Homo-oligomer: A and B are copies of this chain.
């Protein structure tokens, strides 16, 4: 569907600032300036984090006037979800059993 991401999604979500940015964007699209207002670090640092998220295809952006608006694009998180779910059988409980059963049935 798209070029191989330079930064993989695991690396992208390894940083807590980047995870916070994703949570922010889940609530609403935001410009760089708006995102910066939620953090104490410099704009340059935020932009770097946004670039990492962008390379991992976790966000998209569009230019509007002099603003650059970022949107959440969470599809790549599915890879993480699937990787983690492999391990659920080892720490398990009724809930994850049910989830596994449901997913297996749906896939068929």
Give A residues with C-beta under 8 Å from B.
Answer: 8, 10-11, 13-16, 19, 22-23, 26, 72, 74-75, 77-78, 80-81, 83-88, 90-91, 94-95, 98-99, 102-103, 106
Contacts and interface: CB of A to CB of B under 8 A. Distances in A.
Among A84, A91, A102, the one with the most B-chain Cβ atoms within 10 Å of its Cβ is A84
8 contacts: A10-B15, A23-B86, A26-B87, A74-B88, A80-B80, A81-B85, A94-B106, A98-B102
Contact of A11 (B14, B74, B94, B102): B14
Given A81-B84, A95-B102, 18 more contacts: A8-B16, A10-B15, A19-B83, A23-B86, A26-B90, A74-B87, A74-B90, A77-B84, A77-B87, A78-B91, A80-B84, A81-B81, A84-B84, A94-B106, A95-B103, A95-B106, A98-B102, A102-B102
